[in-house]
Amino acid sequence: MNFQERKHIILEKVEESGSADVKELAVLLNTSEITVRRDLAALAEKGLIYRTHGGAMKISLAKDPVSFINKSATRSEQKDHICQIAASFIQEGDVVFLDCGSTVYRLCPFIRNMNIKVVTNSIPVVNALLNSAVSLNFAGGEIDMERQASHGTIVTGHFARYRADKAFIGVDGISIATGLSASSEKEAEISTTLARYSRETFLLCDSTKLEKDKYLPFAPLTMAQYLITDKEADAELMKRYESYGIRVLN
């Protein structure tokens, strides 16, 4: 069975049931789970389905805008691997800062059943954690429609009122030469604020962002105590990062 035939069956199943998981699709298609995951990633990037942890959901059932869904679905397996590691550091009763990054967003399924407090500027994160065990605190302000998040002075002031045990942040670029970099000043401002008022800071970044310099360098590697990435990251590069004082987990 080729991709086009599998695509038709997958879309039909998701449309009919609202969602489907990898295991049931593998049986339905008589193929491997690896092939199913690859097909789901391809369909999600085209905006035809919403990629969830372990399967897929009908787009109309997802509350998040398609553009954000597509970004979150890119390299979904790697991002879920990163988020599983990140979730293992969160303990019951923690106060946690979450930014509006697409990788950080994928942390939500792993923490829904935890008795923790989450402070965030991300609308998709709020949607994902509604009606869960998590206590939510939204930093409101001007809304960036593309990022589906609040930004600005009011937002940074809101975060500054609290103290978190852990902050989970996504950045657009990391390199030894320039440290952490962002695509805009408002994203950099949120990242530095979350790190400033948190006891520990974790960078959640897939390996495609390593040794990449974006528009605005804004902080050294050591702004965070931990860098969590995926298994594709170069081992020698990870050792070099650790020599600069940041612990690398993958």
In this prediction, residues 172-186 reach a mean pLDDT of 93
Q: In the predicted model, is pLDDT for residue 147 greater than 90?
A: no
Q: Can you give the pTM of this predicted structure? A: 0.73
Q: What is the pLDDT of residue 75?
A: 65
Residue type at position 242: E
Distance in angstroms (rounded) separating the CA atoms of residues 232 and 194 = 27
Report all structural domains of the chain as residue ranges with CATH numbers, in order of start: 3-62 (1.10.10.10), 76-249 (3.40.50.10470)
Q: In the predicted model, is pLDDT for residue 64 greater than 60?
A: no
Per-residue model confidence as pLDDT tens digits over 33-46 = 999 999 988 888 77
Residues near 194 by Cβ (< 8 Å), separated by ≥ 6?
97, 99, 159, 164, 167, 169, 201
Q: What is the pLDDT of residue 68?
A: 56
Quickly list DSSP for 24-84.
HHHHHHTS-HHHHHHHHHHHHHTTSSEEETTEEE-GGG--S-HHHHHHHHTTHHHHHHHHH
**CA 43 from chain center: how many Å?**
19
Per-residue model confidence as pLDDT tens digits over 19-35 = 788 888 999 999 999 99
Q: How far is CA 215 from CA 1, 151, 172, in A?
A: 44, 18, 9
Report the relative pairing of strands 226-228 and 198-204 from DSSP bridges. parallel
How large a percentage of the chain has pLDDT more than 70?
93
**DSSP symbol at 157:** H
